[in-house]
Amino acid sequence: MSRSALFASLLGVALWQAIVWITQAPHFILPDPLRVAQAFASNWEIIAGHALVTGYEVLLGLTIGTALGALTAVQLAFSPTMARLMLPLLVFTQAVPVFALAPILTLWFGYGVASKIVMAVLIIYFPVTSAFYDGLSRTPAGLLDLAQTMGAKPARVMWHIRIPHALPSLASGLRLAAVYAPIGAVIGEWVGASQGLGYLMLLANGRAKIDLMFASLITLALMTVTLHWAVGKLATRLQHLDQD
């Protein structure tokens, strides 16, 4: 852990403890950091088991959503006609709150991991598609003119020129997706599940175990930060590929 991250973590814990002292909130409303740490230590096996389920949903949803988003962006870049037809539709889908789809997805795909994975896919599909398509649309005109002059086929232009220059945009979409994917999975778990950190948070809240709920929430936050860091490393490599 870097010094800045360690300092930020210690500052956050200090502020949390200060709020508890100042407000004098009872522990069943706002537990202090020590109580939450004790709850984590006492229930770490349970938390770890549910975290594995949520992590599986997030990683699979992120992988599928990124693949579908990137493929869609390439197809839109290949066909201006398809782009004119599909882009307004993609924007319209964002007008529908994705959270409202969770009950429908649970009805269609059941209470297992499938509905949570689909939820994660839906929530990250548009950012990845939009970011990558924007990058594909901004290929330097001089390179495209040169390729056309040399008689390069559209597929080769796409693979050797447009996609490499759009990798930084794809990297930006991936960074957003890394943050959104856990949100989609947990929302799905809140609506209907028997496993996962979202389910554990609801269960702990229903039994007034607020310290356990906070421990689950912090675990989810740490997972998200770790995923964002890992995807950020991948995104940096993609940007370096463009420079190479």
- What was the pLDDT predicted at 243? 54
Secondary structure letter of residue 30 according to DSSP: S
60 in a domain, yes or no? yes
154 in a domain, yes or no? yes
Rounded to an integer, what distance in angstroms lies between the CA atom of residue 152 and that of residue 101? 44
Provide the terminal-to-terminal Cα distance of the chain, rounded to the nearest Å: 29
The tokens 């794809």 sit on which residue? 170
Token pair recorded at residue 182: 């856990």
Rounded to an integer, what distance in angstroms lies between the CA atom of residue 192 and that of residue 106? 7
* Count: domains in the chain: 1
198 in a domain, yes or no? yes
Phi/psi region, residue 2 (left: phi>0; alpha: psi -120 to 50; beta: rest), is: beta
CATH code of the domain covering residue 124: 1.10.3720.10
Per-residue pLDDT of the chain in tens (244 residues, 90 and over written 9): 566 767 777 888 888 888 889 888 788 888 888 888 999 999 999 999 999 999 999 999 999 999 999 999 888 888 877 878 787 777 777 777 777 788 888 888 888 888 888 888 888 888 888 888 888 888 777 776 676 777 667 777 777 778 888 888 888 888 888 888 888 888 888 887 778 898 999 888 888 888 999 999 999 999 988 888 888 887 777 666 655 5
33 in a domain, yes or no? no
Rounded to an integer, what distance in angstroms lies between the CA atom of residue 52 and that of residue 158? 38
Report the length, in residues, of the chain: 244
- What was the pLDDT predicted at 239? 65
Which domain range does residue 188 map to? 53-243
70 in a domain, yes or no? yes
Exposure of 114 by Cβ count < 10 A (0-12 exposed, 13-18 middle, 19+ buried)?
middle
| Cα 144 to Cα 80, 135, 137, 153, 170, distances in angstroms | 16, 14, 11, 11, 20
- What was the pLDDT predicted at 144? 66
Give the Cβ contact number of residue 214 at 10 Å. 22
1 in a domain, yes or no? no
Token pair recorded at residue 8: 């930020």
C-beta separation of 174 from 209 below 8 A: no
203 in a domain, yes or no? yes
99 in a domain, yes or no? yes
- What was the pLDDT predicted at 146? 72
Token pair recorded at residue 124: 């990250």
**Main-chain dihedrals φ then ψ at residue 191, nearest 5 degrees:** -70, -40
Amino acid at 137: S
